[in-house]
Structure 1
């Protein structure tokens, strides 16, 4: 299982939110590039970037920071936040981003996102952010009536992977939502990347029970920044030496 550090960018800073609340943003570092390089030194094999300004404005905003990170590290970088158009998608790929995360647009215009999946095989990830099983959009500011599982099933055999974030657990260190992750993994034949709530190595080990169902990665945010989880120890516990044993699927091959 791959352990993926998160770098959330707001006004050029590396921050963490509590349950997706922009009013509860805590700045951890004013230099996201330095943060990215530190995670690489500790063994990260992939980075997860979120353009929080972009998520609110509906288009990528922190492009200079994203470009600096992509060019400053030697691992794949996946980016989400504000990706609503084909133009924005191409903009990210032109920066060298390995994978682009479609969230709001996957809910509001799924047919367009399916076309992206065909045009850029193995590079479009569906980001599903949910509250009590219902998908939230536009930087988590709006909650829809769309069921997370129903949305994910639309992209079976098309998307590179699904990133599932439990908003109510994100930034809370309250543990991952294993029940929701299990239900999603059983219902969808795509690699699932878990996000939200991980607070300890014990939480990470609990996710290994879902690995055989297709939960192939986990994104770590606040737990890393507070020191609750040491990245090197986390990788030793569940990651990258075991990566070759985890079937990621053909769609994920160019992204692995």
Structure 2
């Protein structure tokens, strides 16, 4: 399996933004054209894009759906893989995105509220197209745009959703997210060792050394946002680091 570095294109109110720990109003980056941003990452060599509708995740209303659909329409024919999340609350929401050509839909709140949704989607579309997001704070998984805390650990839920047919997991350490102070690889390592499906890591990546550390504990890829947008390192730096540390 080739370890992937995946640029994040997070959208709020029609703009590409980066929030600090998912808090509305904490935008450190705000760019007017998410489609242009997405195309820019592809031009730099990104094979996969991570598209998140933050309005959907936080408010439950997928305001940025038309922008996401246009990005899929423009880039998918070129062979770019796209994973989409944020506010996908129903089988119909997920199905529409998958029918449009989304490679993987990312379920979070909907999966925790209705685990059978994961099973239905996996049976209908194939498990490899269903990714479940486990966003952890203080060792427990958060939902509803990180506004509520569940009683479950990432490992407990990772094992459960694998059994229901999820083809991959997206693990975000909220304690590190957006702070650009580095990462703690241990929670990712624990999840990786507990399941047999790919785990993509996210949250707090600040240096190329963070990326290498995640690859060494068995993650299949890493989503990078703030560090790329603020110039902590370039996308090419990240790709080169992975090549030199397979």
Given the two structures, how large is their TM-score scaled by the length of structure 1?
0.89
**Aligned 1:190-201 pairs, distance under 5 A:** 190-201=197-208
Q: Distance in 2 between matches of 1:95 and 1:241?
A: 36
User: Is the CA contact (8 Å cut-off) linking 1:78 and 1:97 kept in structure 2?
Assistant: yes
Q: Distance in 2 between matches of 1:83 and 1:183?
A: 27
Q: Which ranges in structure 2 are unaligned for 5 or more consecutive residues?
A: none
Deviation at 1:241, TM superposition (A): 11
User: Is the CA contact (8 Å cut-off) linking 1:176 and 1:203 kept in structure 2?
Assistant: yes
Q: Distance in 1 between matches of 2:58 and 2:224?
A: 22
User: Is the CA contact (8 Å cut-off) linking 1:3 and 1:239 kept in structure 2?
Assistant: no
1:40 alignment counterpart: 42
Bigger shift: 231-240 or 116-125? 231-240
2:114 alignment counterpart: 109
User: Is the CA contact (8 Å cut-off) linking 2:56 and 2:62 kept in structure 1?
Assistant: yes
What is the aligned counterpart of 1:137 among 124, 129, 143? 143
Deviation at 1:239, TM superposition (A): 5.6
**2:177 corresponds to 1:173:** no
Deviation at 1:48, TM superposition (A): 0.2
**2:162 corresponds to 1:156:** yes
2:212 alignment counterpart: 205
Q: Distance in 2 between matches of 1:59 and 1:113?
A: 20
Deviation at 1:61, TM superposition (A): 2.5
Cα deviation digits, residues 53-88 of structure 1 (max 9, x gap): 111232433111101211222301100001110110
SS in 2 for 1:101: strand
User: Is the CA contact (8 Å cut-off) linking 1:19 and 1:167 kept in structure 2?
Assistant: yes
1:118 alignment counterpart: 123
User: Is the CA contact (8 Å cut-off) linking 2:212 and 2:245 kept in structure 1?
Assistant: no
Question: 1:217/1:110 Cα in 2 relative to 1: closer, same or farther (>3 Å)?
Answer: same
Deviation at 1:240, TM superposition (A): 11
User: Is the CA contact (8 Å cut-off) linking 1:164 and 1:195 kept in structure 2?
Assistant: yes
Q: Which ranges in structure 1 are unaligned for 5 or more consecutive residues?
A: 243-256
2:224 alignment counterpart: 220
Q: Distance in 2 between matches of 1:116 and 1:219?
A: 23
1:96 alignment counterpart: 101
Q: Distance in 1 between matches of 2:145 and 2:222?
A: 20
User: Is the CA contact (8 Å cut-off) linking 1:55 and 1:139 kept in structure 2?
Assistant: yes
Q: Distance in 2 between matches of 1:14 and 1:26?
A: 11
Given the two structures, how large is their TM-score scaled by the length of structure 2?
0.92
Q: Distance in 2 between matches of 1:33 and 1:238?
A: 27
Question: 1:11/1:115 Cα in 2 relative to 1: closer, same or farther (>3 Å)?
Answer: same
1:234 alignment counterpart: 238
SS in 2 for 1:23: coil
Q: Distance in 1 between matches of 2:216 and 2:125?
A: 31
User: Is the CA contact (8 Å cut-off) linking 1:16 and 1:25 kept in structure 2?
Assistant: yes
